[in-house]
Amino acid sequence: MLDLVGKRYYWFLLSLLVIVPGLVSLTLHGLNLSIDFTGGTLWELQMSRPVQPGEVRDVLAAHGYPDSTVQTSQDNVVLIRMKELKEGSPEKAELATALRERFGNFTELRIESVGPTLGTAIRNRAVLAVALASLGVLGYIAWAFRNTNNPFLYGIAAIIAMLHDVAVVVGTFSILGWLRGIEVDALFVTALLTIIGFSVHDTIVVFDRIRENLGRRAAPTFEEVVNYSVVQTLVRSLNTSLTVVFTLLALFLFGGETIRYFVLALLIGIVSGTYSSIFNASQILVVWENRELHRFLARLRGQRQHVPA
Amino acid sequence: MRIKPWQTLIVILLLTLAAVWVDLPGQSLDPLGWKSGITVRQGLDLQGGIQIVLEARPPAGVEVTQDVLQGTRDTIERRVNGLGVSEPVIQTRGSNQILVELPGYRDPEQAVRVLQRTALLEIIDTNGQYLAPGTIVNTTAGPASDVLGSEPTPTAEPAATPSAGETSTPSATTSQTGGTPTSANGTPTPGATPGSESTPAAGGSAGTTASPTHEAGATPTPEAQGPVYETIITGAELRDAYPTTDQFGTLVVGFELKGEATRKFCEYTSSHVGFPMSIVVDKQVISSPRIESAICEGRGIITGLNAQEVNELVLQLKSGALAVPLEVVQSRTVGPTLGQDSIDKSIVAGLVGLGLVALFMILYYRLPGVISVIALLMYTSFVFALFKLIPVVLTLPGIAGFILSIGMAVDANVLIFARLREELRLGRTVARAIEEGFDHAWPSIRDSNISTMITCVILFWFGRYVGATIIQGFALTLFIGVAVSMFTAIVVSRNLLRVLLTSRLFHNLWWFGLESRPMEAVSAAGD
């Protein structure tokens, strides 16, 4: 049989290789927060003729919005990010008139505006939501696995795998934000919470097998039971992820611009979630049961004692 | 009595037919008209529209209680109904916010103007003085800052130019709404209003549309000078308001007073014949007619407004004044073109996704795969019917949630079929393998789906505070999807398998993706 558990430290290493660059980028560059969190206005216009971003910036600057970013895309669509411009305010009407005078008529595709204080409130709410989701899931797993020796171990292992997935996605978006200017918005938080749900969903299926096989004493050692269970559920885990990845890929390719990065976040999270449930969560159970961390720490301490004074 | 699988299957088929019937668009196959009113409700991002979050900006010393907020919400709701928007959303959020969604509404400027204005009507005794339209006044019903929601405490020092301009330049502005752009093209700007040469923007717009907290300094706070005038009648004493025409055929606001107010108004006008009085909305003078004779029939008109302003004021007077001034803290406007584009793309994505999943399942699991695809199609029809019946407001992320749940719905089937194969490999008969497969897969399906549902509930709560219905739509669709997928996997797939297996045609393990072997050869070994 495939020995997945035996190579557990390679799997952990692979996870680290993916996570560390993201975390480095996160500490250096943070996330490129959208107006949902910072406050401000996002204004998408379809002009009647092609325009240069610089021209639009000039008009904005001339009317008191100097630090705006302007992007243009196909079909003469202009995307403006600027400080808060209230819907229905005279400032907005004035700016619209100025833009019309300069570039001719345009269609307003969308305008989103968030006040600065609201942005901070949303940010706090998002952190709280992720924390609550983690706690809720931890509680449920501890309850679902209450008949095992160590119900909280399963919960904690699932949470670590979940944090792994969150770290992968947040790290990737930090890098994407830094290199490509991709923003993190309220939908991204939605994607994160969905990933949390899916990650745990996947982990539970594997854990459930372990629970069953432990009861049946399917293998002599805990390590072997875990390996047996992981291999048994491997095909199912891959197939499930594949079907979800199929639907997400379809959305990513054909689903339109507004949810593209939302879908990308889900896609990365689902792949990571499958990996972490097979290669991390179950392996953490083994590491814990074998008291490998204890032995590792003991060895460290032992070495320190051997160092001559 | 045991229910036979084929009996369950008939119930499932009937349910599916009912679901498909609900799913069918329009009034097809609906002679009795049961389906009228059942439509797909599209969210803002799909059909376009406006979402506004208003936050209470109470004057100093006033606290916004839940009652006040609720009352304000009700006023807003009456105004929204007056705008003629179908399926609007009006919710209070937290301690001081009101969320308004106007799907399909195309004029954000008007929406903000109508919803945000306090619209406190007063008829004041001007002590015989003529007050020019546009003048900001203090009245016995409260200082101007109460309604204007300006600085927390009215400052004692006179505000520089604008206040002077307001009292001394009669032609400063025509009216409150006149100062703000009225057409959707947004051509006129406050600064360009004729006659406002000395008071840039301030007099006309500061009333409600400008935000005192945000652009403090940029827009001078309107400061009412002079005496406190006595309020004779307030908007609360109106029985009705309606658009009508005056003797010159101009559109004006007509109003009718309640009994008590009629008497009060009659007394006042009979003792002040020949003097002017002022009609004031939100502390700003709209018109100052001369009292020609005693007015005892309890009716009056408000002149000096253009047609659009008349209609808006009528709507506002009918729905009542807001209990607290409001400010727009968040808004989202989506044009209709972007929405239609999104719908088309989502449909393509959904079909491609469904096709890929179906292909994969059939190639990999063969007969069970076909069954799971049938179950999946039923699943899709159930979920969509539920969306229509509940009704769920479909948003773009909501559709993504739905398409995602298709992938997850397959998961329950994958779990069961993987078990089924294992049991078959162990040499069980197909019938027993099916039962064992389902029984063993159930705990995994249950536990994993409940954890997804937990996160959905938290998402729903989070969505209440952010982007509102857009995220809530996602959470709700995913939740429904997961719940229905448990049902289709356990009930539909299982019974389909049970019924199909009574046919000897499928008693070969090839159908289950194992080596071709007739059933009989292994049945003995299994038991």
Q: What is the ipTM of this complex?
A: 0.77
Same-domain status, B320 and B339: no
CA A227 to CA A219: how far, in whole Å? 9
Domain assignment present for residue B173? The answer is: yes
Asked whether the predicted pLDDT for residue B130 surpasses 80, the reply is yes
The answer to whether B411 faces chain A, any CB pair under 8 Å, is yes
Residues 128-147 of B with CB under 8 A from A: none
Low-confidence ranges of chain A (pLDDT < 50): 309
CA A194 to CA B37: how far, in whole Å? 32
Tell me how close the Cα of B209 comes to any Cα of chain A, in angstroms: 6
Number of independent structural domains in chain B: 2
Q: Which residue in chain A has the smallest CA separation from B418?
A: A236
pLDDT (average), residues B98-120: 81
DSSP string over B120-135: -EEEEE-TT----TT-
Strand order, beta sheet including B299-302: B238-245, B251-257, B299-302
Q: Name residue, tokens 């209230």.
A: A86
CA B267 to CA B242: how far, in whole Å? 24
**Res B521: pLDDT:** 43
Pick among A74, A87, A200 to test the B interface (most B CBs inside 10 A)? A87
The pLDDT mean for chain A works out to: 84
pLDDT category at B527 given cuts 50, 70, 90 is: very low
Superfamily name with CATH number, domain A8-34+118-298: Multidrug efflux transporter AcrB transmembrane domain (1.20.1640.10)
Burial B181-205 (b: 16+ CB within 10 A, else e): bbeeebebbbbebeebebbbbbbbb
Same-domain status, B13 and B27: yes
Assigned CATH for A40-114? 3.30.70.3220
CA B422 to CA B338: how far, in whole Å? 49
Burial B375-393 (b: 16+ CB within 10 A, else e): bbebbbbbbbbbbbeeebb
Backbone φ and ψ for B360, nearest 5 degrees, come out as -60, -45
**Res B282: pLDDT:** 80
Same-domain status, B349 and B283: no
Burial A170-180 (b: 16+ CB within 10 A, else e): bbbbbbbbbee
* Mode of pairing for the β-strands spanning B228-234 and B277-281: unpaired
Higher-confidence residue of B36 and B519: namely B36
Asked whether the predicted pLDDT for residue B59 surpasses 90, the reply is no
The one-letter amino acid at B488: T
The pLDDT mean for chain B works out to: 73
CA B113 to CA B309: how far, in whole Å? 10
Residue of A199, A205, A182, A219 lying closest to A266 (CA atoms): A199
Same-domain status, B311 and B380: no
DSSP string over B212-260: TTTTBTTBPPP---SPEEEEEEEGGGEEEEEEEE-TTS-EEEEEEE-HH
Domain ranges of chain A: 8-34+118-298, 40-114
SS3 A47: strand
Q: List CB contacts (< 8 A) between B55 and chain A.
A: 115, 118
Q: List CB contacts (< 8 A) between B189 and chain A.
A: 90, 93-94, 97
Last residue of a domain, one of B330, B346, B381: B330
Pick among A214, A241, A247, A257 to test the B interface (most B CBs inside 10 A)? A247
Q: How do residues A167-203 score in pLDDT, each as one tens digit? A: 999 999 999 999 988 888 878 888 888 888 888 878 8
Q: Would A8-34+118-298 and A40-114 be classified into the same CATH topology? A: no
The one-letter amino acid at A66: P
The answer to whether A6 faces chain B, any CB pair under 8 Å, is no
**Res B169: pLDDT:** 36
CA B61 to CA B57: how far, in whole Å? 11
The answer to whether A238 faces chain B, any CB pair under 8 Å, is no
Both structure tokens of B252: 């004006």
Both structure tokens of B190: 């406050």
Q: List CB contacts (< 8 A) between B45 and chain A.
A: 258
Which of B203-212, B368-377, B440-449 is predicted with the least confidence, judged by mean pLDDT?
A: B203-212
Q: Is A144 exposed, middle or buried (0-12, 13-18, 19+ CB in 10 A)?
A: buried
CA B23 to CA B240: how far, in whole Å? 44
CA B307 to CA B313: how far, in whole Å? 10
Tell me how close the Cα of B297 comes to any Cα of chain A, in angstroms: 39
CATH at residue B226:
3.30.1360.200
Q: How do residues B288-297 score in pLDDT, each as one tens digit? A: 888 888 888 8
Alpha-helical regions (H) of B94-148: 108-116, 144-148
pLDDT category at B44 given cuts 50, 70, 90 is: confident
Asked whether the predicted pLDDT for residue B214 surpasses 60, the reply is no
The answer to whether B106 faces chain A, any CB pair under 8 Å, is no
Contact check, Cβ <8 Å, A240/B361: no
Q: How do residues B153-200 score in pLDDT, each as one tens digit? A: 333 333 333 333 333 333 333 333 333 333 334 333 333 334 333 333
B125 DSSP β-pair partners: B230, B277
Residue of B60, B219, B232 lying closest to B144 (CA atoms): B60
Domain holding B399, by residue range, is 5-41+335-526
Q: How do residues B462-510 score in pLDDT, each as one tens digit? A: 777 665 556 777 788 888 888 888 888 778 888 887 887 666 666 666 6
Q: How do residues B402-448 score in pLDDT, each as one tens digit? A: 877 777 778 788 888 888 888 888 878 777 888 888 888 888 888 87
CA distances from A10 to A4, A279, B55 (A): 10, 9, 54
Going along B23-139, which residue ranges are E strands?
A: 41-42, 49-56, 89-93, 97-103, 121-125, 138-139
Q: What proportion of chain B, given as a percentage, has pLDDT over 70?
A: 74
Nearest to A86 among B110, B211, B408 (CB): B211
Residue A231, number of CB atoms within 10 A of its CB = 16
Last residue of a domain, one of B300, B330, B360: B330
CA distances from B473 to A125, B23, B292, B393, B458 (A): 18, 19, 59, 6, 13
**Res A164: pLDDT:** 93
CATH at residue B416:
1.20.1640.10
pTM of the model: 0.73
Same-domain status, B31 and B140: no
The one-letter amino acid at B288: S
DSSP string over B179-197: HS--STT----GGGSTT-S
Last residue of a domain, one of B330, B359, B394: B330
